[in-house]
């Protein structure tokens, strides 16, 4: 009986750790840049001069279109994010409890993975929509910015 409880606890810890690892920013999370509304919280790599959008030299029409893209998916993104937080709490409770079976814990973990995938799909679709309104030069800058980590940590490669 003790071995069973220890095994369930170990599986729970692994599942929770995997959930947390999946929740961390991934390739798709970098695409959130395109539709995440700015907040009063200071974020790294965001200049006070208007951030990365200014780097793209967008027209007022392009800015309006991006604003509309972001607005259209804002509710969906918020709902999916809330759903992820709720299901992660439920997973935590299942892992911490003594009555859930391994299958119940695994099912909850799979539910979280599904919702995270749905959120990533929404974000990716926003990225594609924004890409469509950019010219080739802007697309290049957009892609460079989206996939670039902290510029101070990864200086541009010098070509000889």
Residue among 111, 120, 55 nearest 83 (CA): 111
Q: What is the pLDDT of residue 52?
A: 73
The span from the CA of 131 to the CA of 126, in Å, is 8
Count of other CB atoms within 10 angstroms of residue 94: 20
The span from the CA of 119 to the CA of 32, in Å, is 10
Q: Which residue has the higher pLDDT, 123 or 14?
A: 123
Q: Does 158 fall in a domain?
A: no
Q: Does 138 fall in a domain?
A: yes
Q: What is the pLDDT of residue 42?
A: 42
pLDDT at position 27 over 50: no
Q: Does 51 fall in a domain?
A: no
Count of other CB atoms within 10 angstroms of residue 61: 9
pLDDT at position 2 over 80: no
Q: Does 109 fall in a domain?
A: yes
Q: Does 135 fall in a domain?
A: yes
Q: Give the domain extent around 112.
A: 79-147
Alpha helix segments (H runs only) across 24-101: 52-55, 60-96
Structurally, how many domains does the chain consist of? 1
Grade residue 5 by pLDDT with cuts at 50, 70 and 90: low
Q: Does 22 fall in a domain?
A: no
Q: What is the pLDDT of residue 9?
A: 45
Q: What is the pLDDT of residue 40?
A: 37
Q: Does 11 fall in a domain?
A: no
Sign of CA dihedral 93, 94, 98, 99: positive
Q: Does 42 fall in a domain?
A: no
pLDDT tens string 72-120? 999 999 999 999 999 999 999 999 999 999 999 999 999 999 999 999 9
């Amino acid at each position: 009986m003790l071995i069973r409880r220890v095994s369930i606890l170990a599986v729970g810890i692994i599942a929770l750790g995997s959930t947390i690892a999946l929740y961390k920013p991934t390739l798709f999370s970098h695409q959130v840049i395109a539709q995440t509304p700015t907040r009063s919280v200071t974020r790294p790599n965001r200049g006070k001069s208007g951030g990365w959008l200014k780097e793209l030299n967008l027209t007022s029409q392009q800015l309006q279109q991006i604003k509309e893209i972001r607005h259209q998916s804002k509710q969906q993104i918020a709902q999916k994010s809330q759903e992820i937080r709720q299901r992660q709490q439920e997973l935590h409770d299942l892992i911490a409890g003594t009555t859930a079976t391994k299958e119940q814990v695994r099912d909850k973990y799979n539910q979280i993975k599904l919702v995270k995938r749905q959120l990533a799909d929404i974000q990716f679709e926003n990225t594609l929509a924004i890409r469509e309104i950019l010219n080739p030069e802007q697309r290049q800058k957009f892609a460079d910015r989206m996939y670039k980590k902290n510029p101070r940590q990864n200086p541009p490669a010098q070509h000889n």
